[in-house]
Structure 1
Amino acid sequence: MELILTRIAKRKTYTIGRLCIRKQVADEYLTGTADKYFCDTLEPTWRDYKNGAYKIKGKSAIPEGRYAVVISFSPKFKQWLPILLGNAAFKKQWSGIRIHAGNTAKDTEGCILVGENREVGKVLDSRKWLYKLKKRIVEAKDRGEAVWLTIR
């Protein structure tokens, strides 16, 4: 399963994105992929790392890229949550990046919050969307599929 997070609003204190699930399409008229909207996301401030920006601990969105996603137990949140895995360089600066519930940028120290962006700078109904996302990830894993998140 491929999750696609497209950042659509890069503001001074937060970043809003759209999370889609990529589907394989195959019928007599069309073959390929289609991204189906799933929910909105909220992260800390986006930084232009490719052009010299630097990470500010707890206040920076992670770099664009493709990350493996698994679900593991979070001692901090005391529940099973999705976590992003990356290469050694990613782990050195960005370890412990999870997808979890929350409503504002104050609820995240670099992680991705899921929900509905119906208020400026917030995501709402976050627990509901986290539950739905975890269910989708578990179903994909049960089918033997790897789960990936591409952030752009």
Structure 2
Amino acid sequence: MVAKAFSMHLTLKRTTFTTESTIGKLSIEGKFECYVLEDVVRKPGAGKVWGKTAIPAGTYPVTITYSNRFRRLMPLLSGVKGFEGIRIHSGNTAADTEGCLLVGTSQAKDFVGNSRAAYAVLYNKLKTSIDAGDGVTITIS
């Protein structure tokens, strides 16, 4: 069996850290795509708070699978140690996520805006790449 080559690479650089959320910039192949809001990044050893902790920095494969919660196909990050069901989806604040990545075209303190539009554009790019047989990864730093 031949390993799938990962031909689309996303990079999420976390830039803003508050007591409520983490905001970063998502790029595809080095080109800015959108903003991302996540839960709080906790200090090493601080422990995970369920539904209120950002996933660990690292590189993860991204696939599109059916979400029972959202009842549709959605991007899923795999292999996130200590986390399950990490999706990329729309939403505006940390109240809209339980570890997932929320996308938006604008950002303010603890907020990303125009999320549904940003998600639609990103989803189409990911789906096109995956449907073509290409792999997708995301590196979070």
The residue type paired with residue 63 of structure 1 is P
Does structure 1 retain, via aligned residues, the 8 Å contact 2:23–2:35? yes
Structure 2 unpaired stretches of 5+: 1-7
Pick from 120, 128, 141 the counterpart of residue 131 of structure 1.
120
Verify: 1:94 aligned to 2:78, yes or no.
no
Per-residue Cα deviation, 1:66-107 (whole angstroms, up to 9, x for no partner): 0000011111111211010016xx1xx201110111011100
**Percent identity over paired residues:** 43
CA distance in 1, matches of 2:43, 2:134: 32
Asked if 1:53 is matched to 2:53, the reply is no
Distance (whole Å) between structure 1 residues aligned to residue 123 and residue 71 of structure 2: 15
Instruction: Give ranges in structure 1 of 5+ residues lacking alignment.
Output: 23-34
Question: Do 2:106 and 2:114's aligned partners in 1 also have CA atoms closer than 8 Å?
Answer: no
Q: Is the 8 A contact 2:38 2:100 kept in 1?
A: yes
Alignment partner, residue 141 of structure 1: 130
RMSD, aligned CA? 1.2
Counterpart position of 1:109: 98
- With the length of structure 2 as denominator, give the TM-score of the two structures: 0.90
Letter of the 2:59 partner, please give it.
Answer: R
Asked whether 1:19 is paired with 2:17, we answer no
TM-superposed CA distance for 1:117, in Å, is 3.2
Match of 1:43 among 29, 35, 38: 38
Maintained 8 Å contact 1:41/1:117: no
TM-score (norm 1): 0.84
Which structure: greater strand fraction? 2
Whose radius of gyration is greater, 1 or 2? Answer: 1
- What is the number of equivalent residue pairs in this alignment? 134
Partner of 1:32: none
Which SS does the other structure have where 2:123 is aligned?
helix
Could you say which structure has the higher helix fraction? 1
